[in-house]
Structure 1
Amino acid sequence: MLIHVFPARQHAEVRQVDDLGRFSVVVAGDASEEELERALTPLARLESRTHAWVYIERLRAACGRDDDAAWSQAFEAMVGFAASKGWVDETGTALRAHLVYESAVG
C-alpha cells in the first residue's frame, strides 16, 4: 500500500490498497515540511522529512474496503506486524511510514 502525496496540489491518495506487504508515503517532487504537512492532513501527521504517522482508521476508510472481510483481516495483520516492530504510535492509532521522494509521480 502506498500513499502518494502531491504537495503542490495539497493532496494525498491511497494507492495499491491490495498490496499490504509494503507501506510507505511517496512524495511527488520536493516540498517544505509545511507543504508536506498540509498535503498529508487529515490522513497523517508529519514526524520529519523522513517519516509520517498515518492514522489507522482514516487509512482504512480511505481504502474503501471495509465490506471485504478478507481484506479487513489482512489489514489488521499488517497493523499487527507494524506494532510488533514498534511502528505504531503510543496511542495505537497511527502507523509510522517512511517517506520516499520522487521527482515525478503520476
Structure 2
Amino acid sequence: MIVRKSGDETLALDERDNFKAFKLQFEQLEAGSQPAIAGIRYIADDHAYIDQQTVIDLAGDDPDGTWRQGFDAMVTAAAKYGWIDAESQSIKAHIEWK
C-alpha cells in the first residue's frame, strides 16, 4: 500500500489491496521535502506517521467490508513490531522520494 503525493496533487492510495507493505511516496518533490499534509506527521528525515482515517478515506468504498478487514489485520500486525503510534494510533511509514 502506497500513500502517494505527486507534485501539487492531492493524496492518492496506490496498491490499495497490498497489506504486506506500507509507505509514503512523494513524486515530483525534492528529496527530503516534508510538505504539510493533514493526517501526516513527520518523525524523522525518512519516516512519518499517517493517520489511519486518512488511509481509510483514500481507500474509497468498501461495500462488503473486505478491504477494511485486511486493513485492520495489517494494523494489528504492524502494532506487534512497533509501527503504530500508541497515542494517536497512526501508522508509521517509510518515506520514498521519486
Separation in 2, partners of 1:5, 1:52: 14
Measured in 2, the distance between the counterparts of 1:66 and 1:59 equals: 13
TM-score (norm 1): 0.78
Aligned residues with identical type, % of pairs: 24
Counterpart AA for 1:78:
M
Contact 1:3–1:13 (CA<8 Å) still a contact in 2? yes
Q: Give 4+ residue runs of structure 1 displaced > 4 Å after superposition.
A: none
Q: Secondary structure at the match of 2:11?
A: strand
Q: Find the partner of 2:40 among 39, 44, 57.
A: 44
**RMSD in angstroms over aligned alpha carbons?**
1.9
52, 59, 76: which is aligned to 1:56? 52
Q: TM-score, normalised by structure 2?
A: 0.84
Within the alignment, does 1:78 sit opposite 2:78 as a pair? Answer: no
Unmatched runs of 5 consecutive residues or more in structure 2: none
For residues 12-31 of structure 1, the aligned pairs below 5 Å read 12-28=11-27, 29-31=29-31
Q: Distance in 1 between matches of 2:62 and 2:5?
A: 23
Aligned pairs, how many? 97
Q: What displacement does 1:11 show?
A: 3.3
- Give 1:43 shift: 3.0
Q: The residue matched to 1:59 in structure 2 has which SS?
A: helix
Q: Structure 1: how far apart are the matches of 2:57 and 2:9?
A: 19
Q: Distance in 1 between matches of 2:55 and 2:8?
A: 20
Q: What amino acid does structure 2 have at the position aligned with 1:91?
A: E
Q: CA deviation at 1:42?
A: 1.2
